[in-house]
């Protein structure tokens, strides 16, 4: 398992560049030899936790078996990459609970008798009841490559390279539906018009986004890594909004 920095985290050590990041920006969370900062979770009647052939094995139980990370923790702007396999059974084999700022969320793979994958605890709804529900039938004895990315504006997950974007589509108010995927905002340098464009999953930064002729990036970083980078008064924000409508 590996974690990268934008903040970000991984699970198998690697000395290569990944997503435009050097090895110095990556942290191995598991070396295949020792549990390290991983501690067995205190679940009722949990199975054994052990290392075999360089893999972290969570033994099947009638309830749950898991491990909890006790080391340094990133809460935003990070990416976790790992591989997971279900050896036997027909229910979820990955329930990765991860921080999102001051809150948390859980990535579920192969849950609800192997019918559902998605994100649980979104607006207090589990993965079978929210907009991230993905119908799946995951195989036993097969390794799946998983990538989880957490940024200030979204959570993304990829299973074997296929990205699953989180978006809002409230059944009670379709006017609050959000756009899918990672987006950025552009502004025409001459006419002042705005447009949103998708950011490819392969883009290491917004600089890699192809912009239509005449458009510049309109996004400004206000808060990053616990630091306030821009401090505007409400009057300044209102004046800028009014100017854009002229």
DSSP code string of 149-180: EEETTEEEEEETTEEEE-----TT-GGGPPPS
How many residues are there in the chain? 246
pLDDT value at position 67?
A: 95
Based on the number of CB atoms within 10 Å of its own CB, is 85 exposed (0-12), middle (13-18) or buried (19 or more)?
Answer: middle
Interatomic CA distance for residues 142 and 231, integer angstroms:
50
Last residue of a domain, one of 172, 192, 218: 172
Model confidence, pTM? 0.61
228 part of a folded domain: yes
pLDDT digits (tens, 9 = 90+) for 57-87: 999 888 899 999 999 989 999 999 999 999 9
In this structure, the answer to whether residues 112 and 220 fall within a common structural domain is no
Interatomic CA distance for residues 196 and 188, integer angstroms:
11
In this structure, the answer to whether residues 216 and 124 fall within a common structural domain is no
72 part of a folded domain: yes
In this structure, the answer to whether residues 14 and 104 fall within a common structural domain is yes
In this structure, the answer to whether residues 133 and 239 fall within a common structural domain is no
Min mean pLDDT across 91-95, 104-108, 206-210, 216-220 is at 206-210
In this structure, the answer to whether residues 165 and 201 fall within a common structural domain is no
Check if the beta carbon of residue 73 is closer than 8 Å to that of residue 3: no
pLDDT digits (tens, 9 = 90+) for 89-98: 888 899 999 9
Last residue of a domain, one of 108, 137, 172: 172
In this structure, the answer to whether residues 216 and 112 fall within a common structural domain is no
In this structure, the answer to whether residues 109 and 30 fall within a common structural domain is yes
In this structure, the answer to whether residues 40 and 101 fall within a common structural domain is yes
Q: What is the DSSP letter of 206?
A: G
Last residue of a domain, one of 132, 150, 172: 172
Q: In the sheet where 183-188 sits, what is the strand order?
A: 194-198, 183-188, 215-217
230 part of a folded domain: yes
In this structure, the answer to whether residues 99 and 187 fall within a common structural domain is no
**Domain housing 238:** 183-245
Based on the number of CB atoms within 10 Å of its own CB, is 149 exposed (0-12), middle (13-18) or buried (19 or more)?
Answer: buried
Check if the beta carbon of residue 76 is closer than 8 Å to that of residue 3: no
133 part of a folded domain: yes
pLDDT digits (tens, 9 = 90+) for 125-175: 888 887 778 778 889 999 999 999 998 878 888 888 776 666 655 656 667
Percent of the chain with pLDDT over 90: 30
Domain count of the chain?
Answer: 2
Angle at 120 between CA 26 and CA 47, to 5 degrees: 75
Q: Give the CATH number of the domain where residue 9 resides.
A: 2.60.120
């Amino acid at each position: 398992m590996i974690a990268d920095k934008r903040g970000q985290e991984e699970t198998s050590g690697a000395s290569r560049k990944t997503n435009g990041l050097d090895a110095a920006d990556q942290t191995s969370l598991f070396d295949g030899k020792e549990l390290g900062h991983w501690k067995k979770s205190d679940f009722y009647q949990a199975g054994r936790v052990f290392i075999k052939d360089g893999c972290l094995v969570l033994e099947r139980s009638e309830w749950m078996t898991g491990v909890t990370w006790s080391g340094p923790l990133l809460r935003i702007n990070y990416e976790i990459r790992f591989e997971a396999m279900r050896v036997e059974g027909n229910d979820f084999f990955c329930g990765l609970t991860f921080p999102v700022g001051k809150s948390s969320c859980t990535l579920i793979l192969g849950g609800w008798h192997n019918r559902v994958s998605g994100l649980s605890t979104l607006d207090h709804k589990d993965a079978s009841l929210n907009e991230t529900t993905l119908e799946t039938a995951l195989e036993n004895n097969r390794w799946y490559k998983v990538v989880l990315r957490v940024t200030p504006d979204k959570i993304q997950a990829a299973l074997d390279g296929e990205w699953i974007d989180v978006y809002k589509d409230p059944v009670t108010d379709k006017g609050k539906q959000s756009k899918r995927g990672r987006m950025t905002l552009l502004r025409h340098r001459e006419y002042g018009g705005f447009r949103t464009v998708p950011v490819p999953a392969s883009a290491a930064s917004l600089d890699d986004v192809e912009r239509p002729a005449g458009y510049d990036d309109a996004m400004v970083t206000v808060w990053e890594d616990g630091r306030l980078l821009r401090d505007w008064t409400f009057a300044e924000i209102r004046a800028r909004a009014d100017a854009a409508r002229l």
